[in-house]
Structure 1
C-alpha cells in the first residue's frame, strides 16, 4: 500500500476557556507531558488515523466536538500539543473561506490576492479568472468593494477561487450552508469533478445525504475523541443511535 497522504498519531490539542491567567515561561517551555489547568480543555485527545490519496472522508459529530479543529490541524493553521500530524500533499481549505478577503478591495482585487496567497501565479489566475467569475455568477459586481456583497455572494466568490486551486487535498467545513439550493448543487457537482480527478476529501457536515453522496469512510468525533473510524453508513448509524436521531 502507498504511503498515506495524511497521518495523525496520538494527536491532542487544548485551548483555554478564557484569557485570564496566561501561561508562564515555565509552562510554555517545560518539557514532557503537560498537565491541564482548570481553565483549559482538550479539543482533541489521542486521535490517530491515516488517509490514502483519493479517499473521501466524512467527519461526523455534534457541534463543539473537535471537527473543525481537526481540519485546522490538517491545514497547519494550528499545531498539536501532543502527537504528530504529517501531511504530504498541499491543501485547499474550504473552511472559513471568506476569512482572507479584504472588505475595502474590489472583488477583482480579492480574487487575485486570495488566489496568490494560496500559491497561484499571476499567469495562472489570469487563465482561470473568467472561469472563476462565471462560476460565482457575480460578474456585474466584479469591481464592487467586497464589503458590499451579500453573505451568499461572498461564499460564491470564495468557493469559486478555492475550488480552482490544484492542491490534492480538499477540506470542506459546512461552508455551503449560506446560499441558494441551485448554487449549492453547482458546488457539489464541482466537488464531484475534483473527486473524479483523484483529489482527497475531508467533508464536515451535519447533512447525512451529503455525507453519503461524497464519502465512503467516516470519522466520528465525540468529546474530542475519535469514537469510530469505519464506512460512512456505520458511522452515521452509531451517531444516530447514540443521540436518538431519525436517519435521513
Structure 2
C-alpha cells in the first residue's frame, strides 16, 4: 500500500507585505527560486512520509510553518520547492468555517459545502439529518448562516467535514474552539474515525490533545523539520526548548 502523505524537499516562500506563497503570475512566468527583497522561506527542505492509519501531531511555536505545511498537504498552497504527494482524499478541518455563504440558510449551506467536498446529492440527503443533529442545529435549518453564533458555525462546519469518507483527516486547532460539551463530542468523533483506520495529520498547541490522538510527532522550528519521533519525545524536546 502506498504511503498516505509523501513530502520531499518541501519549501514555500512568502512575501512579508502580502499573504500566500507563489502567485499564478510567478507560476506561469517560471519565477526564480532565490529569495527576493521582502520575501522569506516559511518552510525549507522539509521531508517526511506518513503511512496510512498513522496519527501525526505537528508542533512548534507560532509562525514556524505548521499551518503552512497543513495547507500544502491540503493543496491550498503551491510549493516553491520540492513535492507533496497525497494518496487518497482529504477531509480538511482547516479554516473551518471557510466556504459557507452568509446569505444562504443552514440547509442550503449543508448541501453546498457537502457537494464542494465531493458528496453526491444522494449522500447529502442520506447524511443530512445526522449532520444537523451532530451540529445541534435542529430548528435552525432555515436560518441564514450569517445569523448563527460563532459556536453554531463551528459546530456546523465540523459536522459536515467529519461526515466525509476521505481516508486522510487534516486538523488545524479546530478543537480549541467551542464549549467543553462540543469539544468532547468532537473528541469522540475523531476517536471513531481513527478506529476506522483513518490517517490523522494534526496541528495543535494543546499537549493533552496531541498525546491523546497522536503516536508520532513532527517538530518545526524556523521553517525546518528539526525532529521526527514519537509524540512523547517530540513534546519533551519542544517543552525543553521553549523553557530556555
In the alignment, does 2:25 pair up with 1:29? no
TM-score (norm 2): 0.94
Q: 2:63 maps to what in 1?
A: 64
Q: 1:138 maps to what in 2?
A: 137
The alpha-carbon deviation at position 37 of structure 1 amounts to 0.9
Structure 1 gaps of 5+ residues are none
Secondary structure of the structure 1 residue equivalent to 2:139: helix
Render the CA deviation track for 1:134-189: whole Å, top value 9, x for unaligned. Answer: 10011121110000111111000000000000000000101132211010010011
Secondary structure of the structure 1 residue equivalent to 2:220: strand
Render the CA deviation track for 1:16-67: whole Å, top value 9, x for unaligned. Answer: 0115xx99x7996347x62101200111000000010000000001111111
Render the CA deviation track for 1:83-136: whole Å, top value 9, x for unaligned. Answer: 011111100000011110000000000000000001001100100011111100
The count of residues paired between Structure 1 and Structure 2 equals 240
Q: 2:219 touches 2:225 (CA, 8 Å); kept in 1?
A: yes
Q: 1:151 touches 1:178 (CA, 8 Å); kept in 2?
A: no
Alpha-carbon distance in structure 1 between the residues aligned to 2:26 and 2:188: 51
Q: 1:217 maps to what in 2?
A: 216
Q: Which of 173-182 and 39-48 deviates more?
A: 173-182
Alpha-carbon distance in structure 1 between the residues aligned to 2:225 and 2:33: 21
Alpha-carbon distance in structure 1 between the residues aligned to 2:26 and 2:195: 50
Alpha-carbon distance in structure 1 between the residues aligned to 2:116 and 2:105: 16
Structure 2 gaps of 5+ residues are none
In the alignment, does 2:78 pair up with 1:55? no
Q: 2:2 touches 2:87 (CA, 8 Å); kept in 1?
A: no
In the alignment, does 2:198 pair up with 1:199? yes
Q: 2:91 touches 2:166 (CA, 8 Å); kept in 1?
A: yes
Alpha-carbon distance in structure 1 between the residues aligned to 2:143 and 2:131: 16
Q: 1:155 touches 1:176 (CA, 8 Å); kept in 2?
A: no
Secondary structure of the structure 2 residue equivalent to 1:54: coil
Secondary structure of the structure 2 residue equivalent to 1:210: helix
Render the CA deviation track for 1:183-207: whole Å, top value 9, x for unaligned. Answer: 0010011001000001000111111
- Once superposed, what is the RMSD of the aligned Cα atoms? 1.8
Q: 1:82 maps to what in 2?
A: 81
Q: 1:16 touches 1:39 (CA, 8 Å); kept in 2?
A: yes
Change (3 A) 1:141 1:229: same
Matches within 5 A, 1:1-248: 2-19=1-18, 29-30=29-30, 34-244=33-243
Secondary structure of the structure 2 residue equivalent to 1:212: helix
Q: 1:65 touches 1:221 (CA, 8 Å); kept in 2?
A: yes
